[in-house]
Amino acid sequence: MEHLPMAQGTFHIITFGCQMNVNDSFWLARSLQRRGFVESPLEKAEVVILNTCSVRDKPEQKVYAALGRIKYETRRVPSSFAVVAGCVAQQIGAGFFERFPQVRLVVGGDGLAMAPDAIERLHGDPSLRLNLTDFSEIYPERDPALPAQGEGEIPPVAFVNIMQGCDNFCTYCIVPFTRGRQKSRDAGAILDECRALIDNGAKEITLLGQNVNSYGLDKHASGDTSFTRLLRKVSELPGLARLRFVTPHPKDLSPEVIAMFGEVPNLCPRLHLPLQAGSDRVLARMNRKYDMARYMTLVEGLRAARPDIALSTDLIVGFPGETEEQFQETLDAVRAVNFMSSFSFCYSDRPGTAASRHTDKVEPAEKLRRLERLQALQEDLSSDWLKARVGCKTDILLEGASRKQDGEDAATESWQGRDPWGDAVNVSLPAGIGKPGLIVPVIIVTAKKHSLIGELRG
Ligand code: SAH
Ligand code: SF4
Ligand code: F3S
């Protein structure tokens, strides 16, 4: 029998940034709970953990503001201290100890595996401070921290890291500095984690990494598993209803992976494929290693393999030197691909990057005007996408109960879930039949601004 963990302190995690950070925070919370720590509201927490993002200046500034706020909120918890994890931790390192004395642990992406041990030590010894910002040579495998079979709840939608870091050095991007070189994770460990998640109730898995489809191409990769082989092996795990991966890089999207969208039934018909800009000149200056012609060939290949595939993307406006005409090429590209959604950002200077040294910066007000024009176009395309979904028969993977819809009575419950394209769908079900992880057949009846409404079909 496993020993019961000793009662420890209370903790609270605040997460910024990408899905990798969200997943890291989720793991850290489970791992601390297994050691007897209890999650609590911020004002009662002894250990306050900030999992940080440095991809643009704004999320970095939020970290410093949050540290000030935390000091105020936890002023009545005498033993409280702060932990800074993630990309700003890696970027600033021990500098946090000088600027913010309440910080006693700084831990980067590779060091996170050691964070639960470190937090336990810090909790027991108020004189200690630790800095875990060294990069490791291989993928830093972690204690799985999964509930034992039948012991606990795993959300039906799960995320599994398959790599850490990035080797691409896009000229605007800080990630290769904050997450280090690309390190592929051992395929056996990935498959074990997927199996354990499925055994605990996961129905959908998203494989995660900064360049998921470059899996296995780095010198740290063990064995000869390619991304194609890995994807196929995960898709064949019994009980897995849906499989996705994020984020792929267009330069490494292979014909085999494209073909799999037409062949593998549980691979969802949705791909987030960052384009960044529609001008070949700007793409070259960003060091993206593809041009528009190559990107459009990928789009055509994906649509030939899976005609109903939906594409979404990331875009940057106002990269140094971007002209009005070059920006219009981004608008043209967005129309040509017809993205169902996109994340778009004003270019932001990041320390140490090549683009930050360019002298031909675009004025902030002009960047904002371009962003608004791009987002207005995307709103129209996204709205057209949702409207075109009305009448479609599809399946919804339920994630949780939602607010009651207009006209609902006590005999029904409202549930929120997603269709295979990743759209949020609300559906009203007879009371008592819904549960997270259940897949229900629906017909889409209404398109709202950012979501859909479905009706159960028999
Ligand atoms: N690995 C992924 C995403 C990395 S970061 C990829 O290769 O696309 C997520 C998004 O943030 C990027 O796709 C990019 O659109 C945006 N981004 C990264 N650095 C940025 C910067 N300096 N300024 C503005 N946006 C940036
Ligand atoms: Fe950043 Fe480019 Fe790597 Fe993506 S591929 S994380 S944008 S350097
Ligand atoms: Fe941000 Fe680091 Fe993710 S910079 S986007 S948290 S990899």
Tens of pLDDT along the chain (458 residues) come to: 344 455 579 999 999 999 999 999 999 999 999 999 999 999 999 999 999 999 999 999 999 999 999 988 888 898 899 999 999 999 999 999 999 999 999 999 999 999 999 999 999 999 999 999 999 999 999 988 776 555 556 789 999 999 999 999 999 999 999 999 999 999 999 999 999 999 999 999 999 999 999 999 987 666 678 999 999 999 999 999 999 999 999 999 999 999 999 999 999 999 999 999 999 999 999 999 999 999 999 999 999 999 999 999 999 999 999 999 999 999 999 999 999 999 999 999 999 999 999 999 999 999 999 999 999 999 999 999 999 999 999 999 999 998 766 666 778 999 999 999 999 999 999 999 999 999 999 999 999 999 999 999 97
Q: Which residues line ligand 2 (CB under 6 A)?
A: 166, 168-170, 173, 175-176, 210-211, 249
- How far, in Å, from the CA of 287 to the mean position of ligand 1? 13
Q: Which three-class secondary structure state does DSSP give residue 311?
A: strand
Atom of ligand 1 nearest to the CA of 348: 23
43 Cβ inside 6 Å of ligand 1: no
Distance (Å, whole) CA 8 – CA 209: 33
Kindly state the DSSP code that residue 267 receives in the 8-state scheme.
B
Atom of ligand 2 nearest to the CA of 210: 6
Of the candidates 121, 123, 98, which has an alpha carbon nearest to the alpha carbon of residue 38? 123
Nearest CA to ligand 3 atom 7: 175
What do you get for the CA distance between the two ends of the chain, in Å? 46
Nearest CA to ligand 3 atom 1: 53
Residue 169 CA: which ligand is closest? 2
Atom of ligand 2 nearest to the CA of 167: 3
Question: For the purposes of burial, counting CB atoms within 10 Å of the CB of 64, is it exposed (0-12), middle (13-18) or buried (19 or more)?
Answer: middle
Atom of ligand 3 nearest to the CA of 20: 3
Residue that the structure tokens 């129309």 belong to? 335
- How far, in Å, from the CA of 166 to the mean position of ligand 2? 6
252 Cβ inside 6 Å of ligand 1: no
Nearest CA to ligand 1 atom 19: 173
Q: Which two tokens stand for residue 57?
A: 């200046």
- How far, in Å, from the CA of 357 to the mean position of ligand 2? 18
Q: Which residues line ligand 3 (CB under 6 A)?
A: 17-18, 20-21, 53-55, 86-87, 175, 178-179
Nearest CA to ligand 1 atom 5: 55
